[in-house]
A and B are shown apart, each in its own frame.
Chain A
Amino acid sequence: MIGYFTLILVCQLVGEIVVHALSVSIPGPVLGMVLLFVLLLMRGKLPQGLGQTADGLLRGMALLFVPAGTGVMMHCRLLGEALMPLSVALVISTALTIIVTALMMRWLNRPGRDA
Protein backbone atom coordinates (compact mmCIF):
# COMPACT_ATOMS: atom_id res chain seq x y z
CA MET A 1 0.00 0.00 0.00
CA ILE A 2 2.72 2.45 1.02
CA GLY A 3 4.68 1.54 -2.07
CA TYR A 4 1.75 2.34 -4.34
CA PHE A 5 0.94 5.55 -2.50
CA THR A 6 4.57 6.54 -3.04
CA LEU A 7 4.19 5.82 -6.74
CA ILE A 8 1.14 8.12 -6.85
CA LEU A 9 3.05 10.89 -5.07
CA VAL A 10 6.03 10.48 -7.41
CA CYS A 11 3.72 10.84 -10.43
CA GLN A 12 2.24 14.00 -8.92
CA LEU A 13 5.69 15.40 -8.17
CA VAL A 14 6.94 14.73 -11.69
CA GLY A 15 3.72 16.32 -13.00
CA GLU A 16 4.29 19.45 -10.90
CA ILE A 17 7.93 19.70 -11.99
CA VAL A 18 7.11 19.38 -15.70
CA VAL A 19 4.21 21.86 -15.45
CA HIS A 20 6.39 24.45 -13.75
CA ALA A 21 9.43 23.87 -15.93
CA LEU A 22 7.41 24.23 -19.15
CA SER A 23 4.85 26.68 -17.66
CA VAL A 24 1.94 24.87 -19.33
CA SER A 25 -1.53 25.70 -18.06
CA ILE A 26 -2.68 22.33 -16.80
CA PRO A 27 -2.40 21.39 -13.12
CA GLY A 28 0.48 19.16 -11.98
CA PRO A 29 -1.81 16.43 -10.59
CA VAL A 30 -3.65 16.17 -13.95
CA LEU A 31 -0.33 15.61 -15.69
CA GLY A 32 0.51 13.12 -12.92
CA MET A 33 -2.69 11.27 -13.77
CA VAL A 34 -1.64 11.09 -17.43
CA LEU A 35 1.80 9.84 -16.40
CA LEU A 36 0.43 7.09 -14.14
CA PHE A 37 -2.01 6.11 -16.89
CA VAL A 38 0.81 5.81 -19.45
CA LEU A 39 2.82 3.70 -16.98
CA LEU A 40 -0.19 1.39 -16.60
CA LEU A 41 -0.59 1.09 -20.38
CA MET A 42 3.09 0.22 -20.69
CA ARG A 43 2.81 -2.38 -17.95
CA GLY A 44 -0.34 -3.82 -19.49
CA LYS A 45 -2.05 -4.74 -16.22
CA LEU A 46 -3.19 -3.08 -13.02
CA PRO A 47 -1.43 -4.29 -9.84
CA GLN A 48 -4.08 -5.24 -7.30
CA GLY A 49 -2.54 -3.14 -4.53
CA LEU A 50 -2.51 -0.03 -6.72
CA GLY A 51 -6.18 -0.59 -7.50
CA GLN A 52 -7.00 -0.83 -3.79
CA THR A 53 -4.93 2.25 -2.90
CA ALA A 54 -6.60 4.29 -5.64
CA ASP A 55 -10.07 3.08 -4.72
CA GLY A 56 -9.44 4.03 -1.10
CA LEU A 57 -8.41 7.55 -2.10
CA LEU A 58 -11.24 8.00 -4.57
CA ARG A 59 -14.02 6.70 -2.34
CA GLY A 60 -13.51 9.69 -0.07
CA MET A 61 -12.79 12.22 -2.81
CA ALA A 62 -15.84 14.40 -2.01
CA LEU A 63 -14.47 15.05 1.49
CA LEU A 64 -11.29 16.51 0.01
CA PHE A 65 -13.16 19.51 -1.41
CA VAL A 66 -14.42 20.67 1.98
CA PRO A 67 -11.35 22.75 3.01
CA ALA A 68 -11.14 24.56 -0.35
CA GLY A 69 -14.89 25.01 -0.44
CA THR A 70 -14.84 26.48 3.05
CA GLY A 71 -12.16 28.92 1.90
CA VAL A 72 -14.21 30.24 -0.97
CA MET A 73 -17.38 30.43 1.09
CA MET A 74 -15.51 32.75 3.45
CA HIS A 75 -15.13 35.02 0.38
CA CYS A 76 -18.79 34.89 -0.47
CA ARG A 77 -19.16 38.66 -0.31
CA LEU A 78 -17.29 38.71 -3.64
CA LEU A 79 -20.40 37.05 -5.04
CA GLY A 80 -22.61 39.58 -3.29
CA GLU A 81 -21.45 42.42 -5.51
CA ALA A 82 -23.06 40.84 -8.54
CA LEU A 83 -25.12 38.04 -7.06
CA MET A 84 -27.91 38.08 -9.64
CA PRO A 85 -25.95 37.91 -12.93
CA LEU A 86 -23.43 35.46 -11.49
CA SER A 87 -25.84 33.01 -9.92
CA VAL A 88 -28.20 33.01 -12.91
CA ALA A 89 -25.24 32.52 -15.27
CA LEU A 90 -23.85 29.65 -13.16
CA VAL A 91 -27.16 27.81 -12.97
CA ILE A 92 -27.99 28.21 -16.68
CA SER A 93 -24.47 27.44 -17.88
CA THR A 94 -23.96 24.39 -15.65
CA ALA A 95 -27.33 22.92 -16.65
CA LEU A 96 -26.85 23.52 -20.39
CA THR A 97 -23.29 22.19 -20.35
CA ILE A 98 -24.41 18.94 -18.72
CA ILE A 99 -27.41 18.49 -21.03
CA VAL A 100 -25.61 19.37 -24.29
CA THR A 101 -22.52 17.27 -23.52
CA ALA A 102 -24.57 14.22 -22.55
CA LEU A 103 -26.91 14.45 -25.56
CA MET A 104 -24.00 14.98 -27.93
CA MET A 105 -22.17 11.97 -26.51
CA ARG A 106 -25.26 9.79 -26.73
CA TRP A 107 -25.96 10.91 -30.30
CA LEU A 108 -22.38 10.27 -31.48
CA ASN A 109 -22.23 6.93 -29.67
CA ARG A 110 -25.68 5.72 -30.70
CA PRO A 111 -26.04 2.00 -31.33
CA GLY A 112 -25.55 0.77 -34.85
CA ARG A 113 -23.14 3.54 -35.66
CA ASP A 114 -19.57 2.38 -36.23
CA ALA A 115 -17.11 4.79 -34.71
Chain B
Amino acid sequence: MTFIPVLAAESGIVDALVESTRRTGETFGFNAWLFFSQIISFCIVAFLLQKFAYKPILTILEERRKRIADGLANADKIKQQLAESEQRYQEILTKANAEAQKMIDEARASAAVVKDRETQRAISEAEQILTKAREAAALEHTKMLGDLKREVGRLVIGTTAKVTGKVLTADDQKRLSEEAAREVAA
Protein backbone atom coordinates (compact mmCIF):
# COMPACT_ATOMS: atom_id res chain seq x y z
CA MET B 1 0.00 0.00 0.00
CA THR B 2 2.90 2.26 0.75
CA PHE B 3 4.56 1.97 -2.65
CA ILE B 4 1.72 3.72 -4.49
CA PRO B 5 2.78 7.16 -3.20
CA VAL B 6 6.41 6.22 -3.93
CA LEU B 7 5.51 5.40 -7.54
CA ALA B 8 3.52 8.61 -7.73
CA ALA B 9 6.48 10.50 -6.39
CA GLU B 10 8.80 8.73 -8.87
CA SER B 11 6.39 9.50 -11.65
CA GLY B 12 6.54 13.12 -10.59
CA ILE B 13 10.35 13.05 -10.73
CA VAL B 14 10.29 11.46 -14.17
CA ASP B 15 7.80 14.05 -15.39
CA ALA B 16 9.97 16.80 -13.96
CA LEU B 17 13.04 15.33 -15.66
CA VAL B 18 11.24 15.03 -18.99
CA GLU B 19 9.94 18.58 -18.67
CA SER B 20 13.40 19.85 -17.73
CA THR B 21 14.95 18.05 -20.69
CA ARG B 22 12.29 19.43 -23.03
CA ARG B 23 12.84 22.97 -21.80
CA THR B 24 16.63 22.60 -22.05
CA GLY B 25 16.25 21.29 -25.59
CA GLU B 26 13.96 24.15 -26.51
CA THR B 27 16.37 26.67 -24.97
CA PHE B 28 19.24 25.40 -27.09
CA GLY B 29 17.17 25.05 -30.25
CA PHE B 30 16.67 21.28 -30.27
CA ASN B 31 14.12 20.10 -32.83
CA ALA B 32 13.40 16.40 -33.39
CA TRP B 33 12.86 16.68 -37.18
CA LEU B 34 15.98 18.77 -37.69
CA PHE B 35 17.89 16.39 -35.45
CA PHE B 36 16.86 13.37 -37.58
CA SER B 37 17.63 15.35 -40.75
CA GLN B 38 21.14 16.02 -39.46
CA ILE B 39 21.57 12.35 -38.56
CA ILE B 40 20.67 11.42 -42.14
CA SER B 41 22.94 14.17 -43.52
CA PHE B 42 25.89 12.98 -41.46
CA CYS B 43 25.29 9.33 -42.38
CA ILE B 44 25.20 10.24 -46.09
CA VAL B 45 28.42 12.27 -45.74
CA ALA B 46 30.12 9.43 -43.85
CA PHE B 47 28.98 6.87 -46.45
CA LEU B 48 30.10 8.99 -49.41
CA LEU B 49 33.42 9.87 -47.82
CA GLN B 50 34.06 6.21 -47.02
CA LYS B 51 33.19 5.18 -50.59
CA PHE B 52 34.92 7.95 -52.54
CA ALA B 53 37.50 9.43 -50.19
CA TYR B 54 38.91 6.86 -47.77
CA LYS B 55 38.58 3.56 -49.57
CA PRO B 56 40.59 4.47 -52.72
CA ILE B 57 43.29 6.17 -50.64
CA LEU B 58 43.50 3.40 -48.04
CA THR B 59 43.59 0.81 -50.84
CA ILE B 60 46.47 2.53 -52.61
CA LEU B 61 48.26 3.10 -49.30
CA GLU B 62 47.89 -0.60 -48.50
CA GLU B 63 49.09 -1.55 -51.99
CA ARG B 64 52.04 0.81 -51.63
CA ARG B 65 52.84 -0.58 -48.20
CA LYS B 66 52.69 -4.11 -49.59
CA ARG B 67 54.87 -3.13 -52.55
CA ILE B 68 57.45 -1.54 -50.24
CA ALA B 69 57.35 -4.59 -47.97
CA ASP B 70 57.76 -6.87 -51.01
CA GLY B 71 60.58 -4.66 -52.30
CA LEU B 72 62.37 -4.82 -48.97
CA ALA B 73 61.81 -8.57 -48.78
CA ASN B 74 63.19 -8.93 -52.33
CA ALA B 75 66.15 -6.72 -51.46
CA ASP B 76 66.83 -8.93 -48.44
CA LYS B 77 66.48 -12.03 -50.60
CA ILE B 78 68.82 -10.60 -53.23
CA LYS B 79 71.26 -9.61 -50.49
CA GLN B 80 71.13 -13.12 -49.09
CA GLN B 81 71.56 -14.63 -52.55
CA LEU B 82 74.48 -12.29 -53.18
CA ALA B 83 76.06 -13.34 -49.89
CA GLU B 84 75.52 -17.00 -50.79
CA SER B 85 76.99 -16.43 -54.27
CA GLU B 86 79.94 -14.64 -52.73
CA GLN B 87 80.44 -17.52 -50.33
CA ARG B 88 80.13 -20.04 -53.17
CA TYR B 89 82.56 -18.01 -55.28
CA GLN B 90 85.01 -17.90 -52.38
CA GLU B 91 84.62 -21.64 -51.88
CA ILE B 92 85.18 -22.30 -55.59
CA LEU B 93 88.14 -19.94 -55.60
CA THR B 94 89.63 -21.62 -52.55
CA LYS B 95 89.06 -25.04 -54.09
CA ALA B 96 90.56 -23.92 -57.40
CA ASN B 97 93.54 -22.45 -55.57
CA ALA B 98 94.01 -25.69 -53.67
CA GLU B 99 93.74 -27.75 -56.86
CA ALA B 100 96.11 -25.43 -58.71
CA GLN B 101 98.58 -25.64 -55.84
CA LYS B 102 98.25 -29.40 -55.86
CA MET B 103 98.83 -29.48 -59.61
CA ILE B 104 101.84 -27.21 -59.27
CA ASP B 105 103.23 -29.40 -56.51
CA GLU B 106 102.61 -32.50 -58.59
CA ALA B 107 104.21 -30.82 -61.62
CA ARG B 108 107.16 -29.81 -59.49
CA ALA B 109 107.46 -33.32 -58.13
CA SER B 110 107.20 -34.92 -61.58
CA ALA B 111 109.60 -32.33 -63.00
CA ALA B 112 112.06 -33.21 -60.26
CA VAL B 113 111.66 -36.89 -61.08
CA VAL B 114 112.11 -36.22 -64.79
CA LYS B 115 115.08 -34.03 -64.05
CA ASP B 116 116.71 -36.73 -61.94
CA ARG B 117 115.98 -39.39 -64.50
CA GLU B 118 117.28 -37.24 -67.35
CA THR B 119 120.33 -36.27 -65.34
CA GLN B 120 121.04 -39.90 -64.60
CA ARG B 121 120.50 -40.79 -68.21
CA ALA B 122 122.76 -37.94 -69.35
CA ILE B 123 125.42 -38.98 -66.86
CA SER B 124 125.14 -42.55 -68.01
CA GLU B 125 125.27 -41.55 -71.66
CA ALA B 126 128.22 -39.28 -70.98
CA GLU B 127 129.99 -42.12 -69.22
CA GLN B 128 129.22 -44.40 -72.13
CA ILE B 129 130.55 -41.78 -74.56
CA LEU B 130 133.65 -41.34 -72.42
CA THR B 131 134.17 -45.09 -72.24
CA LYS B 132 133.76 -45.44 -75.98
CA ALA B 133 136.06 -42.47 -76.53
CA ARG B 134 138.62 -44.02 -74.24
CA GLU B 135 138.29 -47.34 -75.99
CA ALA B 136 138.62 -45.64 -79.39
CA ALA B 137 141.60 -43.63 -78.17
CA ALA B 138 143.19 -46.79 -76.82
CA LEU B 139 142.61 -48.61 -80.09
CA GLU B 140 144.00 -45.68 -82.02
CA HIS B 141 146.94 -45.54 -79.67
CA THR B 142 147.56 -49.21 -80.10
CA LYS B 143 147.21 -48.91 -83.84
CA MET B 144 149.50 -45.89 -83.99
CA LEU B 145 151.96 -47.67 -81.74
CA GLY B 146 151.92 -50.65 -84.10
CA ASP B 147 152.39 -48.39 -87.07
CA LEU B 148 155.15 -46.55 -85.27
CA LYS B 149 156.90 -49.78 -84.38
CA ARG B 150 156.69 -50.98 -87.90
CA GLU B 151 157.92 -47.68 -89.28
CA VAL B 152 160.70 -47.42 -86.71
CA GLY B 153 161.67 -51.03 -87.46
CA ARG B 154 161.63 -50.28 -91.14
CA LEU B 155 163.80 -47.17 -90.61
CA VAL B 156 166.20 -49.02 -88.32
CA ILE B 157 166.59 -51.80 -90.88
CA GLY B 158 167.00 -49.31 -93.73
CA THR B 159 169.48 -47.21 -91.75
CA THR B 160 171.42 -50.24 -90.55
CA ALA B 161 171.63 -51.64 -94.06
CA LYS B 162 172.91 -48.31 -95.39
CA VAL B 163 175.33 -47.82 -92.54
CA THR B 164 176.78 -51.32 -92.65
CA GLY B 165 176.52 -51.64 -96.38
CA LYS B 166 175.45 -55.18 -96.24
CA VAL B 167 172.28 -56.94 -97.05
CA LEU B 168 170.49 -57.88 -93.92
CA THR B 169 168.91 -61.22 -93.65
CA ALA B 170 165.39 -61.89 -92.71
CA ASP B 171 166.47 -62.86 -89.21
CA ASP B 172 168.52 -59.66 -88.87
CA GLN B 173 165.62 -57.66 -90.03
CA LYS B 174 163.30 -59.47 -87.58
CA ARG B 175 165.66 -59.02 -84.68
CA LEU B 176 166.34 -55.32 -85.46
CA SER B 177 162.59 -54.69 -85.89
CA GLU B 178 161.82 -56.36 -82.53
CA GLU B 179 164.62 -54.41 -80.78
CA ALA B 180 163.32 -51.11 -82.23
CA ALA B 181 159.76 -52.03 -81.18
CA ARG B 182 160.94 -52.77 -77.61
CA GLU B 183 162.81 -49.47 -77.55
CA VAL B 184 159.71 -47.57 -78.77
CA ALA B 185 157.48 -49.37 -76.25
CA ALA B 186 159.85 -48.43 -73.49
Bound pair (A, B): no
Residue positions of A touching B, CB distance < 8 A: none
